[in-house]
Amino acid sequence: MTTTTTENSREQKDRQERLEKLRQQLFIDEKTEKQAKLSLELENPELWQDWEKGQQISQDLADLKKDLEDFAFLEILLEEGDTKKFDQFANQIEEKLFLSGPHDKGATFLSIHAGQGGTEAMDW
């Protein structure tokens, strides 16, 4: 086996491990089950008696579908051997995971106050 083949094999294995790690971090199996449950719930005509609840479930389902579609696309990229796009898209998903805390969807206010004067105030 040549060095290039060994490196490619190792890189492929690393990407496969990265994909499995993302599967766990994104809770793909749980989201698949939840998607099926929410889809059934949306079919219930009584759900729409409470419009806000119906809207919330519909939004939750859309979010789940987006995550599942993104992961499926990542799997396709790996299967097709498009390593450059796989790495780019995996980086985007990992960044999204990093910024997915409970407060990350909210707006942010930033206040900057200079010091009492002197050199601290001149920096601003």
Number of independent structural domains in the chain: 1
Domain, as residue range, for 46? 3-122
pLDDT recorded at residue 109: 75
The parts of the chain modelled with pLDDT lower than 70 are 1-3, 102-106, 113-124
Q: Return the half-sphere exposure (C-beta side, CA atoms, 13 A cut-off) of residue 50.
A: 10
Is the alpha carbon torsion for 33, 37, 38, 43 positive or negative? positive
How high is the pLDDT of residue 103? 66
What is the pLDDT, as a whole number, of residue 101?
72
CATH of the domain at 19: 1.20.58
